[in-house]
Every structure is written in C-alpha cells, then in structure tokens.
C-alpha cells in the first residue's frame, strides 16, 4: 500500500550524542524516540544538563556508558572528537540561549548537528552560526518538526505543482492555552525558561510557536516575506515576553497572510493550523488531526485527502510508515526529520556525497529567518505595529 | 423539551410591505420566509424593484393585491400611510445605497423599518438615518441575522455572566469563495452590485461580510473598539472594492482581536466563525454548524453545548423552535430577528409600550457602527494599515 | 446560486385544518411552521386536542375563527366538508392510535390528508387506511420528514444514477437518549404516550424512530426488504415497549443491512445516520449536520458535497432555499414535505391533474410498510430473532 | 505535563528475534518500529520468511548478524536457546496458520512470545497453544494493538470506575474498503493470504478485523459474551471467506451489542469505532482520531476528553508519550503493547517476578476467545444466524 520510508537501513546506524534533555526536560525524550523510530540512530553519549550532577544522573538513567556520560558539552565535544568510535552527530535540545555555543563547539569538532528550534536566542548568534555551518561543511538540521508530517509534504508538493494556482492568502495560527495562568510561578520548568528573556530571547509565543507557524507557511508555500506588522501582548501580569501575537504578513509578489500565535487561548492544546488559498484552489491542514488534508479546487466538491489514500502523491508516501486509516502522529513527523538527517549524514560519509534531491529538512538558513521573524515581530510591535522587514 | 419562541401569537399578525426583493434577487426571498416562520407577519404590499415594470411583475408573482403592488417605494410609503389597513412595517432589501432614502421615506410616513445590512453606503447617510430613527420614535431593526442564532445568544449570555472571565482575545473570520474569479463579468447580479462602489459604498468584502464578523464579535463580547489596523486587497484584476481584508483590532480595556474577511478563499462557502478567549475559558462557534457551541473552561475537559441540550441556558431556549439534535439553520436564525422585531412592534402598538427586557435585535446604532467599521478599514488600509478609530 | 423551491406561488394558498397539536404537544407546532415556510398553506380550522376544552383553548391561542375551532375531529370533518370555503387538506398530528379514525373521517369527507408517522398503531388499520386512500382518490402524504432533506434527495439521485454501483451494504441508525431514565414517570407527556402500547402500538423505539431509519434506507436505496432478524429490549424496568432495537436486514437481490434504534444511548440527541456502500462507492449522511453528504467513490479521494455546492445535482437543488454554507435544518426538510404536498394538492385541483414527475413524498404505502416493519421486528424478537418477512 | 511511559530503562534492552516479516510483508515492519519506540527491545535474530532464501535476504537487509539470520524458525528456536546471549523473546508475525507451530517451538525452547493476532487459524490450535503457554510459564503477548491506545485505556478505566453505570448497549464496527474489488487477483500479497482459508482459517473479515472489534469491546467493557447471531457474506464473486459481517451480541447480564466488520465499504480505511452506553453515560472512540474520547454523562453537556488533557486519568497517562494536542497514533499504540511486554519480561527475569498490577496486555486467553469468536460467527451464519455460544 504505502511504499514509505525504508524502515531499516542495511548499513550501521549513526552514533549520536545529546546536549540537554535530562531529568525534567520534555523535548529531549521526544528527540530520542524520534531518533529510534526508523532505527537510523543510536545514542552513545550525552551532556544531558547544564548541571554536571544532573547531567550524569540523567545519563545513568538512560544507560549511557559512564565514560561517555559527560558533565558539560564542551567536554563532550572534545572527548568525542578524539574517539575513533566518536559520535557522528549531536542533538542539541537545551533552552534557546545555549543552542549557539553548543552548536559552535560541535561544528568546530567536525560533528554534524541536529538542533531544536528556534535556532538561537538572538539574531546575531543566528547569523554567526550560519556562517559557522557554511565554513564547517557539516550537516545542520533544525527540528521544525511539523515539516515532517506527510500531509504537509503533500500540500507543499501540490502547491509546487501549481494545483492551487497563484497563492493569494495564507492563514496560519498556533493557539495554546497552557500559559493562560501564571504557570511559571507554580513550578513548571517548561514554562519558566520559556518566559525568561535570558533563556528564550526577545520572543515569547512568537519564538516558541509563532516561528513554527511562520516556518510552516514558508515551507508549504515557498513564498518569501516582504514585511510584517505585529501587535504583541503579554496578557498575564508580570510576564516579560509576549503570550499572544497578532501578525499581518505581506509576501513578495503580492500575497497576504495572517499569523495568530497564543499561549492564553483556553481549549487549545497545540492548535497549529495552516490554510492557503490561490487562484485555483485551497488547502487546509490541522496539526491535531495530521493525517488529513482538505483540498478545495475552486468550483469542485471538497476533497479530503488522507495520508496514504487516493490522491496522495509521492512526497507524502516517502515519509509515511503505515497504511491509510492508521494514524501517524507527532512522533512520526518528528522522526521524519531525523530520517532526513540520517540520509544527509549518510551521504556525507562519502566524499562529495550529497543526499538525494527529495531529501528535505529545515536548515540553518530557515533558522536564521525564524529568529529574524521573532525579532521583526518584537520590533514592529514596539513601533505600534509598523511594517517591518526581516 | 424546549420552551422556545411562542410560535403563534393570539393577536393578529403584523402587516408589512417590502422594498426590493423582486425577480432575480436573493435576500428578499429569505426575508419573506423569515417573516413567515413564526407567523407574526403578513406581506400585503411591495415595491419590489427599482424598475416599475419588474416591481409589478414581481408583486404579481407573489400574489400581491394589484392596488398595493407599487412601482416605487415613494409611492408605496405615501399610499400605505393613508390606508386604514396600511402596513405597520416595511422590509428594505435593496442594494445598500437605497437603504437610506427608502428608510427615510417610511420613517417619515410613520412606518416601522426592518432593514438589511450594511445600514447605508456612506457613514454620512448612516448618521442621518440614526437621527431620523430617534426623531421618529419608530422601531428600526437591522438584519444582522447571525445574532439570531440560539448558540450566539448562548455565547453572549455566558460572557455576560462572566463564565469566560475577562476577555483577552477575539478571533473572527468570514471567508467565502464565490468571487475567486470575476463573477461580476459573467452575469451574476448578486456579484455585480456588490463590487460596484456606487451601490455598495467604499467596502467590498468588508461591507458585505466583514461587518457581519465585526457585528457578531461586538454582539457576543460586548467589547467596544478602540482602533483598528486594516490591510485590504482586491485580488481579482480590475475589481474596485476589496475582496480580502486582514484587520487587527484593539478593544477598549486591552483586549485584542483579528478579523479575516475574504471572498476569494476557495472551499469556503459562508465560513463565519467566532472564537473568544478570556481569563477563565473560551468559546468557539461556526455558522455552518450553528447548533453547536464549544465551551472550554480552562483546566477542564472541553464541552460541546448543543442547542436545547444540557448546559444551554434561557437566552438560547427562548429563540429555539425544535428539540436538540434536530438542527435549526440560517432561516430560523433570520426568523428570530423578525420575531424580535414583531415583539418590538407589538409593544409599540400600545402607548408607551416597550418590549420585554430580553428582546434583543441589532439597532440603527449597530448599523452606524458597522458603516463606520467599513470606512475605518478603508481609511486605515489607504494609510498603510495605520491604527484608525471608528 | 440555488434555483430552489419556488418560494411563493401566484395562486392562493391551500386552506388546511389540524387534528391534534394543541397545548403541550410538540409535533403540531413543527407542522404549522413547516406549512408556513413556503407560504403554500394557511391554517383555518382545528380540532387540536382529544379533550374538547383543551382543543378550544388551543385554537383560541392560535387565533382560529371560533366557528372553525372544533371540539372533535368528527365534527370538524363534517362541518368543513359542508363549507364552500372548507379546508382542502387536514394535518393529523395525534398519537398513533388516532391516525386511522381521523384520516378515515377526512378522506370520507373528500379532504386530502397529511399524516404524521407511523401511519397507524396496527398493521390492520394501516391496510384499511391504504384501501380507503385508494378508493378516495385523495392525496395522502406521510410526514417521514427526513426524506425532505436536500442531501437525502441528492443521495437518492446518485444511487438511481448508478454512482454507487450495485448496493451491497446499508447501515442505518437512530440513537437517542431521552428515555435513558424513566421519563414517562416524571410528567413528560411526550414520553408517556410513546411508551403506552394503547397509543403507540406494539413498537416503542422501533415505531418512533426505527421506522424513520428503515424508511430512509428504503427511500435512498430503493432496495426492497426480504426479511429481518430483530433483537429488541426494554432496558428501563417496567417499560412495556422496546427502547433499544438491533435489527439485521436481508434485501432482495442480496444486499444486507443493519439498523440500530435506541432511546437509551446517552449523548445521542437525534443521531439518525445513513451509510450505503456499493460496488463503486459509498455515501454517508448524518441528520444533525444535514447539509453535508460524503461521497466516496472507490479508489478516489473522499468528497464532501454540500447542499447547493459543486457536485450537488438537481434533486437537491429543487428542495433548497438558501445558498451553500448557510445551513438549512429540520424545519426546512419538514417544509419540503409540505411543499411536495402542496404541489400534489394543487395538481389535484385540476381534473385528472397530476403532480410533476419530480414531486416525491412518502405515501400511504410507505406507511403500511413502516407499520409492517415494526410488527415484523416485534414478531422476530419474540421468536428469538428469527428471520421474518414483512 | 504527561508523566507517561518511562521512555528508556536503565537496564539493558531485551534481545528479541522475529519470525516472518521479511520482504513484501507489512506488519513485521510495524512490529519492529513498535519494539524500537520505547527503546526496550533490540532485534538480534530472525527467520523472516518461510522461504529460506527470502528469509536470509531480508535479514541481511536489516543488518542481522549472518550467524543469527536463520532459514527457518525451527532452526532459530534451537540455536538461540543454546546461545548464552540468545533471544529472550520472539515476535511472530507470519500468516495465521503458522502462529501455532512457531509459538510452540519457541515456548518449548523457553523463549517468551509476542504473537500477532488472530492467535491461530483454528480453535483447536488455539486451545493447544493456551495449554502450552500455561505449562511453559513464559510470557505470551498477543498484539491486539488497539488496546494500547491511551484513550482506550481511559475508556476502560472509566467503565471500571462506574462512570457509565451499568452497561446496556455496545456498538463496535470496523469497516475497510481495500477488498471492494478482487485485490487478491491483482498481485496483493496482503490480500492473497487473508482470503485463503488455508492460511487465514475459516474467517475472512471476521478474523482479520472482526476480532479486533470484538476484542476491543471486551477489553473496554469487561462484559462476557453469552451468544451471538451472525450473518456473513462474501460479496466479491469467487471469494471463499467472508468480506462483510453483521453480528448481534448478547452479553451475560443482559447487555446487547452489534458488530459490523467489512472489507468492502468504499471510503473506509481502518474505520474501527467503539461506542458504549450505560445507565449513567456513554463513550465514543474512533481509531482514526485516537487522541479523543467523547464522554457523555446523561443529562450533562458532552465532553471531549483529549489524551493528556483535563479529565484524562492515570490509565491513559501511563501509556502516553507526548503532551495533549500532539497526536499519538497507531505506532505508539502498538509500541505500548511492546512496552507492556517488556515490563512483563523484565519481571520474569527475576525469580517469581510479577509485573506491576497496572501492566495490561492481551493474553493467550484473549487469543483463544478471539478464534472462538470467529468460529462461532461462521457457525452461526451457516445456521441462518442462529444464536451460538463461543
């Protein structure tokens, strides 16, 4: 039924290490599952916390070889670079402000990097990191995981093939509710660092989820931004970073868009939704029900394309694992980013090797643009929503 | 099960006439059904077209008494005012630019007015009309029909009772697709007048549907607007009025909102949707499935309240006609506006009579505000989306 | 957009009377709204209750002429038959056991009959009534109202045109929850007569809602029943009639089906649903969201056909009143039965007049089959679900 | 947010082998992903096909050690039993008729078994296998994978806690469409063995998917079956096994149920759905959208419980991996069966070790009952749907 990702590879899996993701963290565990799903990666080293004690305790829990269970990422980068069986790649899953120094250390040690988003906590860091990546020649994969969903690949392919005609309107939103009250004051570690400018950067909801919405719109439509107008709020008293963002977009070529990101919208868990309308048709996709894509060609009945079902094309099929009607979810989409990373890293094992043309993942340039988006939102909002370029 | 609207009244029905709504028109037929549903009105006169011939042919088709089948509204206003069995009310269902002169004629003739939206094609006319209404002491009902849906009444009641806490965010949208291509050039009379500034006024999608979204947001939340920032487009070449509108809202007191109105979004028929979020919970309502209201109290499971079902209160019950699970639709919601109008008109039959406190309908003031909204959108958009007050 | 039902007719409306439907009743009010929606009927007489006092009080409330506000249907049939302006049609909306004597009285008086379902409380009565209808030559319309929904007409048309191929499987269900507890003991008049064999006949859920599901399956597919196997329960202690029915169907020609009817399924309001599958495709329709029809041609993407939208054909269009995206509901579907009745009655005004070929409504024969269905269910269930013919 | 499955265990992973699941197979790949997701298993041996050549080629592709890449399961059982680092568990993913001999070989070799469903192709084999399991004292896990979905665990917990009251009605269905046409004649290996009585046993749709529906109903409600009445069809000409099944259920204690299983219902991919109604409330769950559970307490608004969201209890939380709003799917549910197997196997590593009380998985007894269900359906259908006990 589904050709899908080749599930296991004949060659050996990729040895990787992890920075961050120890006890009490959330996204590290997600990365580890994602890395395991297709059997392409094996975790052999870690510096799992900024606290050496917690790092070691976390690594022991995961069964890491004590020798490769490091107290700091600096130590890990050095030691692994020296080992003949050292890691080929590192996954960086720390709060935002640590992405840059950690990525720098591993790139300079000749190790490929898989990095959580947003890329960095400042645009300056982001640009420096992009330069480092280029200089290093290493693979750099940013885990804008929603780009791994099969029906997102499907939507992108349909737009590339012209099935929507010229794009006119993009509506993206990412509402959540978990910061409706002041969770950062009641012991949520997840909340605490996300609302702290020192760890997150200048964006709150814009950085945490707005970037996802923006990245997804860009990934699916291929449109480039001209400028944006943003009206940000921190509705919860005493919160320093935005928890609700209203953004109007003007794309080059005349298309228009809106983004709504919120962490204070009760009843929304991870309500990421993308709608795109062109001269010939529209598409609609909702993250919480990711196996469906509405396709609405103008003047014809609405069609519901299902992952793996009739009407789904090769771009979706190559990242699917199970037949239609058996839902794939968040972890599988995340795993697809890892699978694409694996293809890129395997290609890099060979001299002048390049991944196949259909291998697609978010790059450091996407990351720079994401941070630029956040900073532009903040800048615009401070100027009474003045139109601002990235 | 449902107490509901008292379906038939013991007293005699209200005699009414209609201006516009003849052959080839759409909304006139809707008004006539709406007027019939609860048995409160009887159509006895008409000036059904601006063309006297078409007016008379249309009236004959409806079985109007030839004597009361008029060639113009001026004639009708005069003649009916003189009759002992003359109309008590008139329904005005012409293109926008005729609302003002027609309403003026009937108000001055001492006849109550039920008028389609938007109120007028210019803000100047709107304000003059409001003054006339006040002076006349007559009932004036604007058919912002979506305010007649039971679950909209329910949402409003819940917000008034504080069940959402302090409102922070309002998301309203009204996408359609019928003007994706240039329907005005292919013989659609409905399209032709709506894109003609002389008949519609300065707003296209803003006036036709944006006002509905704005009015609904205001009706449900009770929030007052401080200012708006609008980015309007006419995506179809040669179209003079906007067919897509992106609007950011700032309400007095600090709440924020967004409105998206579009006539070029393929796959959307009448996609009016309202979402409101407060400190304690949220609500979500979709016009195409109007018998449902999502209520999402923060930290509790989501609840789907159905029209007439458990959890629905008196404000919804008084405008419901059938038990839960049997869907009511657009015509019933429209009929509720007529039912409220009937209550107001019956009250006005008595000296110093006033309708009961729970009788609610859109007024001429709502109409003035709607036209002000359209003009503010256009003004803001011309100034590069500058923040603009109504 | 939508051609639709011609909303008002040039000729005069049909004068009708009503039997039953007085104070405290539910379905009578529905009939009256349905009769008004298209302006084809005017209520001029009534015998609105089996209690003469309540009948007269109810008629006064509705503003009936005191002379035509009768204390019994017998009196009304006689008196109206004698009047030059007597009623042309009567609507019978009493409990089931009164359908037969009332219909008999009016047919014998030369008056057309619109009758609520099920046709009668016994099969013997049903057959006698069918004979009377034939002998009388009068129009007899049974209000299996769900057949009036546009998308049901659409489904029927698609099956007639062969778009589903040969039908193999029919799944129909009608779950409700209002009799989960013993509502008949707590003052619900609606519940009381429905669970009383003297007023309802031998079927409880089978008669009240199972017949709807069965009728709808028959109407849409055109399949004829060979035999059924039924397992009925009265789950609520002391209840005499079934409140839950499981039925397997064998159609002539080899298709199979299932019906589930229940009044004890919490969370279901009026959950009527029909699914039909053939060699070439399937359809799915849900009463609570009646403006949508899923069409699933085998091997193609699923299509959601909307009332009035692309892909909807003439059978749906002729019974639609408003454009797509503006939902029509239960009352409009019900009104379509009245509109079809009006067409049949208008045709009957002329000597040898016949309604147009596309006029479709449930007949007395459908009513006989419905009662036969109920009796066969009860008979089968008593014989341990033995296969039983109608 | 979510406590969830402890993702990685401190101890070493469980070494396992696989029988079946080589090139061209489907479910083997699913098992391998499921085994990897929580990091509890490592694949070290295989006899991946009944053809030795294909077996070895498949194992090579998966990177198996050539020494442990066996040509037959018999050979594998013997060899692994002798190795000090031999497998602790085997996953059997062959066509049904091979489950029994393969399971027998490994149980007799002292190796735990994880086996695909249905348990065997005959009831006789099933009973023999159950006896073997008991004698062996080994862990035996049947992959009725749908029991691994968090919201299924949630539903089961709610019923156990009495939140639905006494269960009255169970509605289970599993429609598919992939055998609408004669796929077995057009090269689908998946179709070919499933419609072959020698490989599948006496049941077609009953065995492949009906057992899932039955098992799920039993798992969630805890009700025991008294008897069933089944009407089976093979709609596609020349097909030997049923492709559509209508089944009525009578449970001990008086509850009733229906099961519909079909492979010829166009538009249905894997439409497994379960609805349960009791005296106090109902639940509804759909496999294609598995992160939602409707809970409908009688007389209260409907509630939508989301995986990990408010209202979800510990039984769901312990098998969840990511926060609410990030969908988990089929593979995660499948992985939960493997996670439960791992807990049971880890417990069995210790003398007299027992898994914690909340470890739940389908057992060999469930498998015996499943095969009995299939045989009872076939037997009943042959006797004109006579009531039949398991």
- Contact: D301, B305; criterion CB under 8 Å: yes
Tokens matching residue A151: 């029906």
- Contact: C304, A305; criterion CB under 8 Å: no
Classified as helix, coil or strand, B365 is: helix
Tokens matching residue A59: 């690594």
Mean pLDDT of chain C: 95
Instruction: Please give the pLDDT value at position B11.
Output: 61
How does residue A11 score in pLDDT terms, banded at 50, 70 and 90? low
- Contact: B8, C61; criterion CB under 8 Å: yes
* DSSP code for B33: H
Comparing CA positions, the residue from B356, B351, B288 lying closest to residue B319 is B356
Name which of D32, D60, D329 is nearest A329 (Cβ-Cβ): D329
Residues of B in contact with D299 (CB under 8 A): 310
Instruction: Please give the pLDDT value at position D25.
Output: 87
Distance from CA of D218 to the nearest CA of B (A): 26
Residues of B in contact with A275 (CB under 8 A): 265
Residues of D in contact with A62 (CB under 8 A): 8, 10
How does residue A188 score in pLDDT terms, banded at 50, 70 and 90? confident
- Contact: A256, B244; criterion CB under 8 Å: yes
> What DSSP assignment string belongs to B132-172?
HHHHHT--EEE--GGGGSHHHHHHHHHHHTTTT-SEEEEEE
Distance from CA of C323 to the nearest CA of A (A): 14
Residues of B in contact with C291 (CB under 8 A): 288, 329
CA quadruple D273, D277, D280, D281: dihedral sign = positive
How does residue C11 score in pLDDT terms, banded at 50, 70 and 90? low
Classified as helix, coil or strand, D374 is: helix
Average pLDDT for A37-66 = 95
C-alpha–C-alpha distance, residues B304 and B302, integer Å: 7
Instruction: Please give the pLDDT value at position C2.
Output: 33
How far is the CA of A252 from the CAs of A123, A161, A255, in angstroms?
22, 19, 7
Mean pLDDT of chain D: 95
Tell me how crowded residue B58 is: count the other CB atoms within 10 A of its CB: 24
pLDDT tens per residue across span C223-276:
999 999 999 999 999 999 999 999 999 999 999 999 999 999 999 999 999 999
How far is the CA of D177 from the CAs of A302, D19, D183, D191, D378, in angstroms?
21, 29, 11, 12, 21
- Contact: C303, A302; criterion CB under 8 Å: yes
CB A72, CB A55: distance < 8 Å: yes
Classified as helix, coil or strand, B57 is: helix
Distance from CA of D292 to the nearest CA of B (A): 11
Using the predicted structure, report yes or no on whether residue C337 has a pLDDT greater than 60. yes
Residues of A in contact with D287 (CB under 8 A): 325-327
CB D352, CB D187: distance < 8 Å: no
pLDDT tens per residue across span B23-33:
988 899 999 99
Instruction: Please give the pLDDT value at position C25.
Output: 87
Confidence (pTM) = 0.96
- Contact: D329, A326; criterion CB under 8 Å: yes
- Name D120's bridge partners: none
C-alpha–C-alpha distance, residues C28 and C47, integer Å: 12
B50-57 long-range contacts, CB within 8 A, separation 24+? B50/B20, B50/B94, B50/B98, B54/B22, B54/B23, B55/B22, B57/B22, B57/B23
Tokens matching residue D294: 């409707």
Comparing CA positions, the residue from C232, C388, C376 lying closest to residue D385 is C388
Helix or strand run (H / E) with residue D90: strand D89-92
Domain B14-138 -> CATH class: alpha beta
What is the separation, in whole angstroms, between the first and last Cα of chain B?
44
Phi and psi at D160, nearest 5°, equal -60, -35
pLDDT tens per residue across span D85-106:
999 999 999 999 999 999 999 9
Please indicate whether residue A187 or residue C30 has the higher confidence score (pLDDT): C30
Distance from CA of D229 to the nearest CA of C (A): 9
Tokens matching residue C245: 């029915």
Proportion of chain C above pLDDT 90, given as a percent: 91
How far is the CA of C365 from the CAs of A181, C107, C129, C148, in angstroms?
63, 16, 10, 17
Using the predicted structure, report yes or no on whether residue D365 has a pLDDT greater than 50. yes
Name which of A295, A305, A310 is nearest C299 (Cβ-Cβ): A310
- Contact: D266, C284; criterion CB under 8 Å: no
Q: In chain A, where are the structural domains located?
A: 14-138, 150-322+369-389
Distance from CA of D276 to the nearest CA of B (A): 19
**B-D Cβ pairs (cutoff 8 Å, strict):** 34
Judged on CB neighbours under 10 Å (0-12, 13-18, 19+), A356 is: exposed
Instruction: Please give the pLDDT value at position A4.
Output: 41
Which of these ranges, A8-22, B84-98, C85-99, C199-213, has the smallest mean pLDDT? A8-22
C-alpha–C-alpha distance, residues A169 and A146, integer Å: 20
Chain B interface with D: residues with Cβ < 8 Å: 295, 299-306, 309-311
Q: Which of C177, C265, C380 to mutate to test the interface with D (most CBs of D within 10 A)?
A: C265
CB A54, CB A47: distance < 8 Å: no
Residues of A in contact with D176 (CB under 8 A): 325
Judged on CB neighbours under 10 Å (0-12, 13-18, 19+), B253 is: exposed
C-alpha–C-alpha distance, residues A143 and A31, integer Å: 9
Which of these ranges, A188-202, A313-327, B79-93, C32-46, has the smallest mean pLDDT? A188-202
> What DSSP assignment string belongs to D313-368?
-HHHHTT--S-TTS---HHHHHHHHHHHHHHHHHHHHSTT----TT-----HHHHH
C-alpha–C-alpha distance, residues B228 and A6, integer Å: 52
Instruction: Please give the pLDDT value at position B2.
Output: 34
- Contact: B310, D304; criterion CB under 8 Å: no
- Contact: A327, D33; criterion CB under 8 Å: no
- Contact: C246, D256; criterion CB under 8 Å: yes
Instruction: Please give the pLDDT value at position C90.
Output: 98
C-alpha–C-alpha distance, residues B248 and D340, integer Å: 51
Specify the residue for token string 């006797």.
D383
Chain C, nearest residue to B324 by Cα = C269
Distance from CA of A291 to the nearest CA of C (A): 13
Name which of C168, C257, C260 is nearest D264 (Cβ-Cβ): C168
Q: Which of C151, C301, C307 to mutate to test the interface with A (most CBs of A within 10 A)?
A: C301
**B-C Cβ pairs (cutoff 8 Å, strict):** 136
Chain C, nearest residue to B328 by Cα = C329
- Contact: B295, D306; criterion CB under 8 Å: no
Comparing CA positions, the residue from A139, A99, A97 lying closest to residue A115 is A99
Report ipTM (2 d.p.): 0.95
- Contact: C8, B323; criterion CB under 8 Å: no
Name which of A250, A254, A266 is nearest B296 (Cβ-Cβ): A266
* DSSP code for C162: T
Comparing CA positions, the residue from C35, C32, C42 lying closest to residue C12 is C42
Residues of A in contact with C303 (CB under 8 A): 301-304
Q: Reduce the secondary structure of chain A to three states and give it as a string.
A: CCCCCCCCCCCCCEEEEEECCCCCCCHHHHHHHHHHHCCCEEEEEEECCCCHHHHHHHHHHCCCCHHHECCCHHHHHHHHHHCCCCCCEEEECCCHHHHHHHHHHHHHCCCEEEECCCCCCCHHHHHHHHHHHHHHCCCEEECCHHHHCHHHHHHHHHHHCCCCCCEEEEEEEEECCCCCCCHHHCCCHHHHHHCCHHHHCCCCHHHHHHHHHHHHHHHHHCCCEEEEEEEEECCCCCCCCCCEEEEEEEECCCCEEEEEEECCCCCCCCCCEEEEEECCEEEEEECCCCCEEEEEECCCCEEEEECCCCCCCHHHHCCCCCCCCCCCCHHHHHHHHHHHHHHHHHHHHCCCCCCCCCCCCCCHHHHHHHHHHHHHHHHHHHCCCCCECC
Q: Which of B327, B328, B335, B336 to mutate to test the interface with C (most CBs of C within 10 A)?
A: B327
Average pLDDT for D333-348 = 96
Distance from CA of D346 to the nearest CA of A (A): 16
How does residue C215 score in pLDDT terms, banded at 50, 70 and 90? very high
CA atoms within 13 A on the CB side of D6: 11
C-alpha–C-alpha distance, residues D343 and D347, integer Å: 6
C-alpha–C-alpha distance, residues C113 and C76, integer Å: 14
How far is the CA of B379 from the CAs of A222, A230, B141, B260, in angstroms?
31, 19, 28, 17
pLDDT tens per residue across span B152-188:
999 999 999 999 999 999 999 999 999 999 999 998 8
Distance from CA of D272 to the nearest CA of B (A): 23
* CATH number, domain C150-322+369-389: 3.30.360.10
- Contact: D244, C297; criterion CB under 8 Å: no
C-alpha–C-alpha distance, residues B279 and C122, integer Å: 59
Please indicate whether residue C324 or residue A187 has the higher confidence score (pLDDT): C324
- Contact: B310, D299; criterion CB under 8 Å: yes
How does residue A17 score in pLDDT terms, banded at 50, 70 and 90? very high
Name which of B178, B321, B325 is nearest C331 (Cβ-Cβ): B321
C-alpha–C-alpha distance, residues B25 and B49, integer Å: 9
CB A195, CB A281: distance < 8 Å: no
Name which of A8, A33, A309 is nearest D32 (Cβ-Cβ): A8
Using the predicted structure, report yes or no on whether residue D21 has a pLDDT greater than 50. yes
Residues of C in contact with A310 (CB under 8 A): 299-301
Residues of C in contact with D296 (CB under 8 A): 177, 266-268
Name which of A233, A235, A260 is nearest B258 (Cβ-Cβ): A260
Classified as helix, coil or strand, C255 is: coil
C-alpha–C-alpha distance, residues A63 and A57, integer Å: 10
- Contact: D304, B309; criterion CB under 8 Å: no
How far is the CA of D134 from the CAs of A8, B16, D102, D112, D364, in angstroms?
35, 85, 16, 12, 9
Instruction: Please give the pLDDT value at position D3.
Output: 37
pLDDT tens per residue across span A303-345:
999 999 999 999 999 999 999 999 999 999 999 999 999 999 9
Task: Spell out where chain C has E strands.
Answer: 14-19, 41-47, 89-92, 112-115, 140-142, 167-175, 225-233, 244-251, 256-262, 273-278, 281-286, 292-297, 302-306
CB D248, CB C248: distance < 8 Å: yes
CB A244, CB B168: distance < 8 Å: yes
Q: Which residues of chain B have pLDDT under 50?
A: 1-10
Instruction: Please give the pLDDT value at position A117.
Output: 94
C-alpha–C-alpha distance, residues D149 and D154, integer Å: 9
Please indicate whether residue C261 or residue D200 has the higher confidence score (pLDDT): C261
Tokens matching residue A212: 């996802």
Instruction: Please give the pLDDT value at position D4.
Output: 41
How does residue A269 score in pLDDT terms, banded at 50, 70 and 90? very high
B215: Cβ–Cβ under 8 A, 6 or more apart, which residues? B117, B144, B146, B147, B362, B366, B369, B370
Mean pLDDT of chain A: 95
Using the predicted structure, report yes or no on whether residue C346 has a pLDDT greater than 90. yes
How far is the CA of D217 from the CAs of C123, D284, D315, D337, in angstroms?
38, 12, 17, 17
């Amino acid at each position: 039924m589904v050709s899908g990702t080749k599930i296991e590879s004949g060659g050996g899996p990729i040895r990787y290490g992890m920075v961050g993701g120890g006890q009490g963290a959330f996204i590290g565990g997600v990365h580890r599952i994602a890395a395991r799903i297709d059997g392409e990666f094996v975790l052999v080293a870690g510096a799992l916390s900024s606290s050496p004690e917690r790092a070691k305790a976390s690594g022991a829990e995961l069964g890491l070889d004590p020798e490769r269970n490091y107290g700091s990422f600096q130590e890990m980068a050095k030691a692994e670079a020296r080992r003949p069986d050292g890691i080929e790649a590192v996954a960086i899953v720390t709060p935002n402000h640590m992405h840059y120094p950690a990525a720098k250390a591993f790139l300079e040690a000749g190790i490929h990097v898989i990095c959580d988003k947003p890329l960095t906590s400042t645009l300056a860091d982001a640009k420096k990191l992009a330069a480092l990546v280029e200089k290093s020649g290493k693979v750099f994969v940013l885990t804008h995981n929603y780009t791994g969903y099969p029906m997102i690949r499907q939507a992108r392919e349909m737009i590339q093939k012209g099935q929507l005609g010229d794009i006119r309107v993009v509506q993206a939103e990412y509402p959540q509710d978990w910061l409706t009250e002041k969770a950062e004051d009641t012991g949520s570690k997840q909340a605490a660092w996300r609302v702290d400018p020192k760890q997150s950067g200048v964006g709150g909801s814009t950085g945490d989820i707005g970037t996802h919405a923006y990245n997804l719109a860009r990934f699916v439509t291929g449109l480039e931004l001209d400028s944006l107008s943003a009206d940000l709020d921190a509705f919860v008293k005493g919160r320093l970073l935005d928890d609700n963002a209203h953004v109007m977009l003007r794309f080059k070529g005349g298309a228009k868009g809106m983004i709504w990101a919120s962490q204070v919208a009760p009843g929304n868990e991870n309500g990421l939704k993308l709608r795109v309308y062109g001269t010939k048709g529209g598409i609609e996709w909702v993250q919480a029900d990711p196996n469906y894509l509405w396709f609405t060609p103008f003047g014809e009945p609405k069609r519901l394309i299902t992952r793996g079902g009739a009407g789904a094309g090769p771009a979706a099929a190559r990242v699917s694992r199970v037949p239609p009607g058996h839902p794939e979810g968040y972890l599988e989409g995340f795993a697809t980013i890892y699978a694409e990373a694996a293809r890129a890293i395997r290609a890099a094992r060979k001299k002048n090797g390049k991944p196949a043309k259909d291998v697609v993942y978010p790059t450091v340039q996407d990351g720079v643009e994401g941070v630029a988006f956040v900073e532009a939102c903040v800048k615009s909002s401070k100027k009474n929503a003045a139109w601002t370029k990235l």
